[in-house]
Amino acid sequence: MIAFSEKDKEQLISKGIAAEKVEGQIQTFKEGIPFVKLEKAAVVTNGILKFSNDDEKELIENFENAKNHLSLLKFVPASGAASRMFKAFFNFLEKYNPKNESLEDYFNRTGDKDLNTFYQGLKKLPFYEIIEKRINGKFSSKGEELYFFVEEMLQEKGLNFGFYPKGLLPFHNYGNFASTPFEEHLKEAALYASNKGDAKLHFTISEQHGEMFNQEFDRVKERVSAATNTSFNVSYSFQKSETDTIAVNMDNTLFREPDGSLLFRPGGHGALIENLNDQKADIIFIKNIDNVVTSNAIVEVANSKKVLAGLLLKVQKKAFEYAKILEHNAAIDFDKMQEIKAFLEHELNVRFSENYNGYSIAQQIEILKDKINRPIRICGMVKNEGEPGGGPFWIKDKKGNISLQIIESAQVDTASKNQMEIFSNSTHFNPVDLVCGIKDFKGEKYNLLNFVDVKQGFITEKTKDGKELKALELPGLWNGAMAFWNTIFVEVPLITFNPVKTVNDLLKPAHQVKN
């Protein structure tokens, strides 16, 4: 038990965090978070489905026929700041003086390939013309042009893109206007997350950016509604204060601010399982804010989402039928139990313990009920082309249970030759492309917090005011936060993955509008 002061208790109450929760987090710091145990990489034919064109058409039709009777929602984590996109460019403004050095000399001196790529592709940027008009007449050399361009792009007195949320930056240049990721998500939602002319979207954003998102919606909604013949219902939520995690000193004692207060830190994107848990739609599409395409590729992306949604409806229908039988038929026969078990194994990738056959019929029925009454996630997987991201693996937990999971490299023991060999055998990775069913066969929503593996978080080392500390990140939204869901992985086209991690990603073909 930790002896919290009265001031500590007041702070906990104000944040909505129970003392027991903090004690549990400190215990996690003391015990450490174990690496996951990889059994093998999930591949096509063993853990990842790959559909033929005919299969895809059938699944799309399955979704199209059912969607008008369902509530649909697109859920977009959108709190990411754009500052990381421009990190190297802040550095450039500090280190370069165009009056003392030519741009060529700077490139030769620093070997800055990213900045050179940016400069060579300047005219392809969606905000090139806006900035050029602002700096016109200010420069007399290439070095001055680039310096003033970057300054105008980032500084508070200019466009201030370094402060912006990533979702509100200009991404795609359509000639008479430049669209933001926010606008592109609206256009996408009209194609696959709408029914009867209405589309609902939910963005998780930083509280400080709320008004900016409202203004952007007001600016673009008429244009997008006219182009898509769709009305949009947009809602927002913030990462909840009660999902913040305690920080500790390197010896696992409470880290305190100079005023004696406890230090809490945001729990990472895994905290958004709380925001997702507040949603009630029949089908929820999840996609990151920066993963968008231009209108040229939007239909292909939308069709991929419909395939995943069609598959969800197909397996969910069967799962609901079996769940109903298990719930209401006390005298279920052995053959039906074997049929349900086979469905769980072959369709939902559920693995049973070696002891299953030794249990009584009543115990087996309870196990089947537990396995089938879970939220379902269909996760798109793209072929691994060297991009960073979580991968699909079969893993084994401490109790010997095997399951299909999305695993990040930080969860793997890099000192183990065996584990790294398995990790390197991964053929696909997760582009954060999920379609989720969060209701049971009665139409009641699951409490998603009951399906989180709290042991899949991350401990990281940080500094605050020059002092070292340890921070705790909650299990990632599509990693440990969904660890106990029923999971299906499906290969999807590479076009579905076009994230913008740095500003140079906007120069890639997927972000260039074709005339």
Backbone angles phi, psi at 472, to 5 degrees: -120, 120
List the chain domain ranges: 6-80+165-313+428-510, 89-154
* Site of tokens 């203004």: 215
d(CA 441, CA 272): 25
CA 250 to chain centre: 30
pTM for this predicted structure: 0.94
Closest CA to 290 of 398, 189, 181: 181
Look over the chain and give the mean of its residue pLDDT values, rounded to a whole number: 93
Closest CA to 221 of 186, 194, 169: 186
Which helix (H) or strand (E) segment holds residue 219: the answer is: helix 210-228
Query: Could you name the CATH architecture of 6-80+165-313+428-510?
Result: Alpha-Beta Complex (3.90)
Question: What's the average model confidence in pLDDT over 2-23?
Answer: 91
* pLDDT reported for residue 388: 61
Q: Which two tokens stand for residue 340?
A: 């349900």
Closest CA to 466 of 262, 265, 258: 258
* Site of tokens 């991404």: 171
Question: What's the average model confidence in pLDDT over 150-173?
Answer: 93
CA angle 130, 133, 137 (to 5 degrees): 150
The answer to whether 234 touches 217, Cβ cutoff 8 Å, is: yes
Contacts of 439 (CB under 8 A, 6+ apart): 282, 445, 446
Does the pLDDT value for residue 387 go beyond 70?
A: no
pLDDT class of 416 with cuts at 50, 70, 90: very high
d(CA 372, CA 323): 6
Does the pLDDT value for residue 330 go beyond 80?
A: no
pLDDT class of 20 with cuts at 50, 70, 90: very high
Question: What's the average model confidence in pLDDT over 219-238?
Answer: 96
pLDDT class of 385 with cuts at 50, 70, 90: confident
Does the pLDDT value for residue 329 go beyond 70?
A: yes
As separate numbers, helices (DSSP H) first and strands (DSSP E) second, the chain gives 15, 20
What is the per-residue burial (b if ≥16 Cβ within 10 Å, else e) of 162-186? bebbbbbbbbbbeeeebbbbbbbbb
Q: Express each pLDDT in 166-209 by its tens digit.
A: 999 999 999 999 999 999 999 999 999 999 999 999 999 998 99
Question: Got the DSSP string for 297-335?
Answer: THHHHHHHHHHHHHHHHHHHHHHHHHHHHHHH-TT--HH
- Give, rounded to a whole angstrom, the gap between the first and last alpha carbons of the chain: 66
Does the pLDDT value for residue 249 go beyond 70?
A: yes
Q: Which two tokens stand for residue 189?
A: 């939602």
Q: Express each pLDDT in 437-474 by its tens digit.
A: 999 999 999 999 999 998 888 898 999 888 999 999 99
DSSP state letter for 486: E
The answer to whether 230 touches 190, Cβ cutoff 8 Å, is: yes
Q: Which two tokens stand for residue 227?
A: 């182009």
- Give the CA distances from residue 496 to residues 280, 399, 510, in Å, rounded to whole numbers and listed in that order: 26, 36, 10
